[in-house]
């Protein structure tokens, strides 16, 4: 009997710690300092040829759209692409969403915005992500990484993470953590040059 009580107490304590951590990350994460872009460093004089050879090709991945159709990153080649990995429980992700909405309204005709939801099926579901997007009134396109294909291919270890890809399909810059509209605009400038 005492062993069961001890086990129950440990389980309750662990649950409280996990719930507190999740709550604090969501609430306090909204105030995290936002990061600047990280771009590829070039060690030789920049020419059109060297720029193409020094910039990594964006790895392809598969996600699903709102209708459950499979979509690949390569389907969007020919126009610049911004890929943002996010989740509705992520405070820093929520903090940058208004900036992405503003940029989408301004550049949506010229740039593909792939807002890739980290849909793990437990902490984040397609339904919870859709509910969040609808409740906030966001209009940018959302895709769901239900098999973690995109996150694995890009080695995403933290949310949010944003990649800036030019029309040739090369990764030009990335940002790990929440970004400001100014930083988003800088990234857009790099992929639309």
pLDDT in tens, 103-142: 999 999 999 999 999 999 999 999 999 999 999 999 999 9
- What is the structure's pLDDT at 22? 54
Cα–Cα distance measured from residue 126 to residue 140, given in angstroms and rounded to the nearest whole number: 16
Top mean pLDDT of 20-29, 54-63, 156-165 is at: 156-165
> In percent, how much of the chain has pLDDT > 70?
80
Please give the C-alpha separations between residue 147 and each of 49, 51, 103, in angstroms, as whole numbers: 36, 33, 28
Does the pLDDT value for residue 37 go beyond 60? yes
Cα–Cα distance measured from residue 46 to residue 40, given in angstroms and rounded to the nearest whole number: 12
Give the dihedral of Cα atoms 142, 66, 134, 187; nearest 10 deg.
10
* Annotation marks residue 63 as catalytic: no
- What is the structure's pLDDT at 180? 95
**Average of pLDDT values for 6-21?**
71
| Exposure string over 51-68, b if 16+ CB within 10 A, otherwise e | beeebeebeebbbbeeee
CA atoms within 13 A on the CB side of 100: 32
Instruction: Give the Cβ contact number of residue 92 at 10 Å.
Output: 23
Does the pLDDT value for residue 72 go beyond 60? yes
- What is the structure's pLDDT at 51? 44
DSSP E strand boundaries for the chain: 38-39, 62-64, 70-72, 81-86, 112-117, 142-144, 161-165, 171-176
- Confidence at 4, pLDDT banded by 50, 70, 90: confident
- Confidence at 1, pLDDT banded by 50, 70, 90: low
| DSSP code of residue 77 | T
- Confidence at 12, pLDDT banded by 50, 70, 90: confident
Cα–Cα distance measured from residue 147 to residue 160, given in angstroms and rounded to the nearest whole number: 18
Q: Which residue has the higher pLDDT, 190 or 21?
A: 190
Per mean pLDDT, which range of 11-15, 85-89, 92-96 is the poorest? 11-15
- Confidence at 5, pLDDT banded by 50, 70, 90: confident
* Annotation marks residue 90 as catalytic: yes
Helix runs in 29-165, H state only: 48-54, 91-107, 126-136, 149-154
Exactly one of 83, 93, 103, 111 is catalytic; name it.
93
Q: Which residue has the higher pLDDT, 9 or 31?
A: 9
Exactly one of 71, 83, 90, 179 is catalytic; name it.
90
Q: Provide the mean pLDDT of the chain.
A: 86
Cα–Cα distance measured from residue 115 to residue 191, given in angstroms and rounded to the nearest whole number: 17
């Amino acid at each position: 009997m005492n062993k069961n009580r001890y086990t129950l107490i440990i389980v309750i304590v662990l649950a409280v710690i996990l719930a507190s951590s999740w709550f604090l990350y969501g609430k306090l994460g909204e105030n995290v300092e936002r990061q600047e872009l990280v771009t590829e460093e070039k060690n030789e004089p920049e020419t059109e040829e060297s720029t193409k050879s020094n910039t990594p090709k964006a790895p392809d991945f598969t996600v699903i759209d709102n209708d459950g159709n499979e979509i690949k990153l390569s389907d969007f080649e020919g126009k610049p692409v911004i890929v943002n990995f996010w989740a509705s429980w992520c405070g820093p992700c929520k903090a940058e969403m208004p900036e992405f909405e503003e940029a989408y309204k301004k550049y949506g005709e010229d740039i593909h915005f792939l807002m890739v939801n980290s849909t793990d099926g437990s902490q984040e579901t397609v339904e919870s992500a859709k509910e969040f997007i609808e409740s906030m009134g966001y209009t940018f396109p959302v895709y769901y990484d239900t098999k973690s294909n995109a996150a694995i291919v890009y080695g995403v270890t933290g949310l949010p993470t944003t990649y800036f890809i030019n029309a040739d399909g090369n990764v030009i810059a990335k940002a790990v953590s929440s970004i400001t509209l100014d930083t988003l605009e800088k990234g857009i400038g790099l992929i639309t040059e």
